[in-house]
Amino acid sequence: MNVLEFSCLVWAGSFAAGCLGALTGLGGGVVIVPLLTSVFGVDIRYAIGASLISVIATSAGSAATYIRAGFANLRLGMFLEVATTLGSFVGATLATVVPVKALTAVLGMVLLYSAFLAQQPSTEDAPVAEPGSLAERLQLDNCYPTPDGNGTIAYQVRSVPTGFSLMAVAGLLSGLLGIGSGSLKVLAMDRVMGLPFKVSTTTSNFTIGVTAAMSAGVYLARGYVDPGLSMPVMLGVLMGAMVGAKVLIGAKPEWLRWLFCLVLVALALKMIYNGLVGT
């Protein structure tokens, strides 16, 4: 195929990835890397570079919509970005010395377990945080709109130190594998910190852009960001993320949770296969 055909196909795949990433809070990067390497035969280092650019586009395309709608917890997201940014820098720095294939297989198994956890009973009705907790002192508690848009539902943030630590791990994986690590972020906020699922996915979309930006700077300095590849990927993911963000606001949390799990299982199997077979 010629350059135009290649760019159009990459754009179409990136559009679907961006829409899916906005709906689930995973970011388009988890789909872009397998798509570029397995379908289009792109070198994984350049695929990761383009993926990181796409993750930034996903966040930029959906975060503004979520913040205006009142779903994303801006204060919490900025606090957790301290951990993910530091982890992402370390991960991108270690990317050339860590056996990524083995790490990919391990991450695949973690994603399978994450999909199992995501289908367990919700933690939204768990006991509230104790007075004087770190979340209270940092004023991280917030509320989000009701489905009919006529009111709000308040929630409290719990287990802030544990969630902060998991965000550092998510940032580390983002730098190593070129993904937004949205799966770990969503699970950390949903299961550990007790956020409602829509708040978890929207806040994850807000935070993954900053995480990816740190890693992208390292890959750019190493020459692994190809403008000819990154441009159609970025445009496709950006447009897909904007469409997905509008769909998410009116979607049912139960439907989103099942979609989240199905995507996690598919990605986990792909990662385990690549790690074991060595592709």
pLDDT in tens, 138-183: 888 889 888 777 788 898 898 899 999 988 988 887 777 766 566 6
pLDDT tens across 7-40, in order? 999 999 889 887 877 776 666 666 777 778 778 8
User: According to the model, what pLDDT value does residue 165 have?
Assistant: 92
Kindly state the tokens that stand for 106.
């391990």
User: What does the block give as tokens for 39?
Assistant: 């379908």
- The residue count of the chain comes to 279
Q: What is the mean pLDDT of residues 114-141?
A: 64
Question: 86 is written with which tokens?
Answer: 């530091």
DSSP state of 122: P
**Mean pLDDT in residue range 75-104:** 81
pLDDT at 9: 92
The DSSP string of 126-153 is: SPPPPTT-HHHHTT--EEEE-TTSSSEE
Distance CA 71, CA 142 (A): 9
Q: What are φ and ψ of residue 100, in 5° steps?
A: -65, -30
* Distance linking the first and last C-alpha atoms of the chain: 23
